[in-house]
Amino acid sequence: MPKRNPFERLRSLARRLYDSTAERVRRFTKQTDEVFTEEPIDFSAPSIPYYENLANRLGLVRVILYMTLLVFVVVTVVCNHRLITYENLYYLAKDISSATLTAQSQADRISYPISSGDADFSLYRGGVVIAGCEVVTAASGSGRQTLSENVAYADPCVRTSDKYYLTFGRGETSFNVYNSFVRVYREITEFPIYDAAVGDNGNFAVVTRSRDYTSEVMIYDGDMEKLANYHLNGYVTGISMNRKGDRLGIVSVESVDGIWETKVTLIRVARKITAETVTLSASLGSNCGFITEDRFAVVCMDRLMILDTDATVKGEVVFEGTTPILCDVGNERVALLFRVNTDISEYRLDVLDRNAKTVYSLALDESHPLQGSGKAVELALGGDNLYVRTVDTLYRLSDNGKTLTSMAISRDTLTVLATEDEALVCTPAYAARLTAEDFTTP
């Protein structure tokens, strides 16, 4: 008996399906005999059979689409009914309105309630958030205040992302999470809070301690639900979350036989928490931050180390004959100001890339213009630009250190916040927006 070719059956099925589809299309667009006549269509007639038939069929399609939309809405509401509340809908509507302020024209000066020297500042949606001892204020880039709330912080701190900002008092037992205009979450902790980090997806982490551990990191998702408590035996000296919010880096130190030991922990933030750890003996870690989504920089007193999210070392620089006194971890770069260990007063400024390779290095002796206005008190990286603040002057290094410009600033300046194109110079009462055109050659 001859073997039947299975492809013949498939071709037959495909042909029948094609013929059936063609017939349905033909019936859908079928015209009446009156339309096929050579006589012109009388548009003044009460109805034209072809268009009447087409309108009826399109009306049926519209009904089907409405029914599909209704089913989708019902299923969505049923599956997410716990998350759909009046407060959430109210917050969403208001936050969308507030977020549009980011796209408005940027004000040269952003005013806010007078803050003391203990205030903390952070960029947020093109504007700035100020956590003061008595008031938390959010101001948009256009200068409009979107939130002002009374608080009582002895040592105020603020951490921001694109979605939320989190405020707390260092050493106090509560923290608050806000969007542009209102507080959306508050928690009172059993033990004091020392630091925090926030991601753009709404994930955040808060550093405290517990009865059994020196440090405890509480990790939350974007719905303010706690994912895990991560315990450490050492003291957390730095914590950072990448912009996506799916990676958390923690630097902790502890004394082992009288010698400081640093542990760097990289955590994957998800429903199932996973972590990788690197231990540095005889090293004291302090500053840290994600320079890319998958590269974590750690600044110790004796070295700079760059790790990926699997805690694999991608670059390392050991500080020999120098002591770091200022640093900033930015996007793709790390800036370090060193004191050179010699008998004379000499400093060095290094900028390194994501692999800990030197981008440029400047020797800052007494003849260098940057040393002319006194001791540097702050570094701020904004893209490829580096801002160096002294008591009354702000310097801007661009073109990989080849171009140096400066401008006079208020002696009351508290901090400098830098982006890729501009800098905000924050004083107790206002933030002045500066661009490249505001600086001149010293």
DSSP 401: T
Examine residue 326 and state whether it is found in any structural domain, yes or no: yes
- Count the Cβ atoms, other than its own, within 10 Å of residue 224: 14
- Tell me the residue type at 337: L
Checking if the pLDDT of 278 tops 50, the result is yes
Residue type, 374: G
Q: Which of 40-54, 104-118, 224-238, 259-273 has the lowest mean pLDDT?
A: 40-54
Count of alpha carbons within 13 angstroms of residue 412, beta-carbon side: 11
267-274 mean pLDDT: 92
- Is 204 within the bounds of a domain? no
* Whether 389 contacts 382, CB under 8 Å: no
Query: Which residues constitute the domain of residue 371?
Result: 322-442
The structure's pTM equals 0.78
* Beta-sheet strands, E only, within 161-257: 165-169, 174-178, 183-188, 195-198, 204-208, 215-220, 226-232, 235-241, 247-256
Residue with tokens 């990926």: 308
The Cα 434–Cα 412 span in angstroms is 16
The per-residue pLDDT for 33 is 44
Q: Please, are residues 382 and 344 in contact by the beta-carbon 8 Å criterion?
A: no
Cα dihedral across residues 67, 68, 71, 77: positive or negative: negative
- Does residue 312 contact residue 275 with C-beta atoms inside 8 Å? no
Q: Which is it for strands 165-169 and 156-160: parallel, antiparallel or unpaired?
A: antiparallel
Pairing label, strands 322-329, 313-318: unpaired
Domain total of the chain: 1
pLDDT higher than threshold 60 for residue 280:
yes
Say how many CA atoms lie within 13 Å of 251 toward its Cβ: 24
pLDDT tens, position by position, 201-214: 999 999 999 999 99
* Local confidence band at 358 (pLDDT 50, 70, 90 cut-offs): very high
pLDDT band at 107 (very low <50, low <70, confident <90, very high): confident
Q: pLDDT digit string (tens) for 376-432? A: 999 999 999 999 999 999 999 999 999 999 999 999 999 999 999 999 999 999 999
- Report the CATH number that the domain containing residue 348 is assigned in CATH: 2.120.10.30
335-344 residue pLDDT tens:
999 999 776 6
Residue 413: inside a domain, yes or no?
yes
Is 376 inside any structural domain? yes
pLDDT tens, position by position, 22-64: 665 566 555 444 444 445 555 565 666 666 666 666 777 777 8
**Angle at the Cα of 43 from the Cα atoms of 37 and 47, rounded to 5 degrees:** 85
Q: What is the pLDDT of residue 32?
A: 43
Digit-coded pLDDT (tens) for 108-136: 999 999 877 789 999 998 899 999 999 99
* Percent over 90 (pLDDT), the chain: 63
Count of C-beta atoms within a 10 Å radius of residue 105: 8
Tokens 């603020």 appear where?
A: 158
One-letter amino acid of 438: D
Q: What burial class does residue 268 get, using C-beta atoms within 10 Å of its C-beta: 0-12 exposed, 13-18 middle, 19+ buried?
A: middle
Mean pLDDT, the chain, rounded, equals 86
Let me know the angle formed at the C-alpha of 304 by 355 and 196, rounded to the nearest 5 degrees. Answer: 100
Q: How many CB atoms lie within 10 A of CB 52?
A: 11
Radius of gyration for the chain, computed over Cα atoms and rounded to the nearest angstrom = 31
Cβ pair 214, 234 in contact under 8 A:
yes
Structure tokens, 70: 């209704």
Indicate whether 72 belongs to any domain.
Answer: no
What's the confidence (pLDDT) of residue 54?
64
What is the four-CA torsion angle of 49, 50, 51, 54, rounded to 10 degrees? 120
Report the pLDDT value the prediction gives residue 37, as an integer from 0 to 100: 47
- 235 compared with 102, residue with greater pLDDT: 235
Helix (H, G, I), strand (E, B) or coil at 257: coil
Angstrom distances, CA of residue 122 to CA of 126, 219, 241: 10, 21, 15
pLDDT tens readout for residues 297-324 = 999 999 999 999 999 999 999 999 899 9
Range of lowest pLDDT (78-87, 92-101, 155-164, 277-286): 92-101
pLDDT at 177 over 90: yes
Residues 337-357: what's their mean pLDDT? Answer: 89
Say which amino acid occupies 149: E
The verdict on residue 100 lying in a domain is no
* pLDDT recorded at residue 36: 45
Q: What is the pLDDT of residue 65?
A: 81
Q: For residues 284 and 192, what is the distance between their CA atoms, to the nearest angstrom? A: 23
